[in-house]
Amino acid sequence: MTIYRTRVALRHQFRDVLNFYYPDCLDTRIGGYVAQLDERDGHVYDERTRHLVATARGVHNFSLGVLADGPHWCRHAAEHGLRFLSTAHWDPATEGYDWLLDGRTPTDRTRYCYGHAFALLASARALQAGIPGARAELERAFAVLEDRFWEPTHELYADQAAPDWTRVDPYRGQNANMHACEALLAAYEATDDERYLDRAYTVADRFTRQLTRTHDLDGLLWEHYTESWEPDRSHNADNPRHQFRPPGFQPGHHAEWAKLLALLADHHSADWLLSRARELFDAAVELGWDDEFSGLYYTVEADGTPIVPDKYGWAHAEAIGASALLSREDETYLSWYDRLWEYAESHLINPRYGNWYERLPRGHDRDGPNRGTAVEPGYHPLTNCWLAMDAVADDAGEK
């Protein structure tokens, strides 16, 4: 048994990640969060850029801190971020969330379903945490998702639109729908409103079962689709290292969907949810695990041949959460849970500060600071530590 089967160890890791970002991430001059902290030593390398997803994830993270009885400053930090999300990122003229800001000035107003899904997730967790204004923001974010992105014919969400909503891009993607499903589940947990659960179930069923059967994907999840939801196998074929839309299959997303299906099974009686969750997790590790250097590849061919062999922190955090949830019904998944934590401790967790590195090359020799505007402010490890506290901790009475 690893120490991460105990609530004490999980809470320690949870607090380490929160402490890495607080208080340096709070900006009292511009407002919102400074998410661009160097993953090696925490220094700020970009104090002005505000990214919608980073803002929403920050609200989510500090709201989880409140829910997990974390440091007292989590409530103030969550309130601080929600105010910025609901004012600076929100464009009242067109009723959508702006993607990128320089300070409080929009620099990219493209309407991304992915970003609006995270606004919904942030609002849902803030509502659970009792943050003022969260319910109104949740309803606003959901309304945009339904009115602007939902496609009733396909029962899935479109991916992106022009700032004034006059054009919807023909690209359709897995990732926006997965995070919409996650946000809808959180909205249901925060409100007990069945419409959120029904929509989450529809998206999960459509994507993880129906599309794989319709397009003969052998049970695997393809990432990129055309406007009519046909697999687009040519998308970024000439750019295999595209960070957010690479070609191939992503083991990390198979694990992440496994987690979401396991969470759906807690609220929905459909008997396929857990069996499909196990299939997706098993596919993630069977196709994605690097037997030579350990860790999950970023992208692979259908037979497991690596396309991009890099190791991303988020993929391992999601696999930890999935294996924790699946272990409630089948304890054999605890062996993967332990193995993933051992890998994370050896390679992905900063030994000095406790934050997680974004990406490492296959052999784990660091080749850069992993900087950019679209950074990962601890959302994946925090989320999955939080889930594991209830799923596997053998000292649940401890605080």
Q: Residues with catalytic annotation?
A: 253, 380
Element (H, E) at 296: none
Residues 6 or more apart whose CB falls under 8 angstroms from that of 394 comprise: 5, 6
Instruction: Name the residue type at position 128.
Output: Q
CA distances from 239 to 235, 244, 281, 308 (A): 9, 11, 27, 11
**β-bridge mates for residue 96, sequence order:** 91
One DSSP character per residue, 129-165 reads: TT-TTHHHHHHHHHHHIIIIIEETTTTEE--EE-TTS
What's the length of the chain?
399
The H-assigned helical ranges of the chain are 7-21, 52-67, 73-87, 113-128, 134-144, 174-191, 194-205, 211-214, 251-265, 272-288, 313-326, 333-343, 379-391
Q: Which residue is associated with the tokens 């923001």?
A: 137
